[in-house]
Every structure is written in C-alpha cells, then in structure tokens.
Amino acid sequence: MKQLLLVFIGGGLGSSLRYIVGSYFSSNTSTIPYGTLLVNVLGSFIIGILLGELLKNHTLSNALLLLLATGFCGGFTTFSAFAFENFELLKSGNYTAFLGYTLGSIALGILAISVGVWVSKVIA
C-alpha cells in the first residue's frame, strides 16, 4: 500500500506540473506542441539522472524510485498527449510538423536520458 501511495503522490505532482508547463508553453501560432515536447524531454532527463545515480551509487531506495521515476516522471511525461497531438497533425495534413515532432521527441528523449546519466556520473 505504501508503494501505491508513493506513485500516487508523485504522479499527482508530475501531472500538475505538466499542466502548468503545457499551459505556459502552449501557443496557437505554432503547429508543434512545444509544452508536451518540453515535459517529455525534461522527464527523460530526470529519469536519466535517476538511472545514473542508481547505476553509480546504488543509493536510491525503491521508495524514492517509485515516487520520482514511476510517479512523478510517469505523471509529468505523457505518451497519450504525444500520440493525440501527432494524430491531430496527421489529420490536419501537416506532415512536416508531424515528422519533425515525432522524430524530434524520440531523439531528444533518448538524448536527454543519456545526458542525465552523464550528469549523474559527473556530479559527485
């Protein structure tokens, strides 16, 4: 039950922050949903740092991983919004934005995890 509560609290905080960031960065003038892109890249970076810490020091407890990785990052990042926004880009016929957003999200997400792992190795 404690694990479920940790995921619940982290997920609520992550989802709330995602809403704030998404609202702040949403724009009717751009076809690319930069708010979702930003939270997905930031979430990947945070998971990269957590993974790097775990690999380097084995100091992260299971409870902290549940709170931060599963809960917070799971609530903060959003594949369903990513998929919906891509669907909308396809439906509108904006194939260039669809391709850029999809490939950019995947590439930047993987890069952010890699940088997060690297940062966790550099920080003592």
**pTM of the full structure:** 0.79
Give the per-residue pLDDT at 102. 96
Give the per-residue pLDDT at 79. 86
Give the per-residue pLDDT at 72. 93
77 is in an annotated binding site: yes
Give the per-residue pLDDT at 60. 79
pLDDT tens digits for range 16-48: 999 999 888 876 667 888 888 899 999 999 988
36 is in an annotated binding site: no
In terms of Cβ atoms closer than 10 Å to its own Cβ (0-12, 13-18, 19+), residue 91 is: exposed
Give me the residue spans of the domains in the chain.
2-122
Taking the CB of residue 4, how many other CB atoms lie within 10 A of it? 10
- Whole-number CA gyration radius for the chain: 16
**Residues in the chain with pLDDT < 70?**
27-29, 124
Asked if 53 and 39 count as a contact pair (C-beta separation under 8 A), the reply is no
